[in-house]
Amino acid sequence: MEFRSHMDTALSEARASASRGEVPVGAVVVAPDGRVVAAAGNRTREMADPTAHAEILALRAACIAAGSERLPGHSLYVTLEPCPMCAAAISFARIARLYYGAADPKSGGVAQGPRIFSHPQCHHVPDIYDGLSAAPAEALLRAFFAKRRP
């Protein structure tokens, strides 16, 4: 099957997050046949839930759709490098491929910080592709945080 990036969908979820006053991060889960089965943006403030990151919400919705807590063969697209919590959830869900946009030196858990997937206690490691549409993802985050600074 020809590769088709779903980062544009993730970016529109990120933009929708920003318009709700949430940190602009968006995530999309794609089934093995190429169907988008879930898309979500951050809702931590709205849901008063520190775990309501875009990746977690997208994984939950995709698992409900699949009727399974595991999503073998699925891909996850996210505009920002996943945090340690989301990286662990991606591993638990057996996501096959992780595509992410901007690097997150402050809170990332994949290429920096805890590097969740590099530990022997991490029992499933997805194929990882970083830097996809990183520039627009970074621009969204920069604009969001610039506006919030007094």
Active site residues: 55
- Listed residue (93, 111, 94) closest to 102, CA to CA: 111
Shortest spacing between CB 84 and Zn ion, in angstroms: 8
What residues line the site for Zn ion (CB under 5 A)? 53, 83, 86
Taking the least distance from each CB to Zn ion, the nearer of 53 and 60 is: 53
Taking the least distance from each CB to Zn ion, the nearer of 32 and 49 is: 49
Helices (H) and strands (E) in the chain, counts: 4, 5
Cα–Cα distance list, 5 to 2, 8, 29 (Å):
10, 7, 11
Binding residues for Zn(2+), as ranges, are: 53, 83, 86
Taking the C-alpha atoms of residue 16 and residue 22, their distance in angstroms, rounded to an integer, is: 9
Kindly state the DSSP code that residue 22 receives in the 8-state scheme.
S
The two tokens of residue 47 are 């849901």
Taking the C-alpha atoms of residue 103 and residue 26, their distance in angstroms, rounded to an integer, is: 14
Shortest spacing between CB 1 and Zn ion, in angstroms: 28
Shortest spacing between CB 33 and Zn ion, in angstroms: 27
Taking the least distance from each CB to Zn ion, the nearer of 83 and 116 is: 83
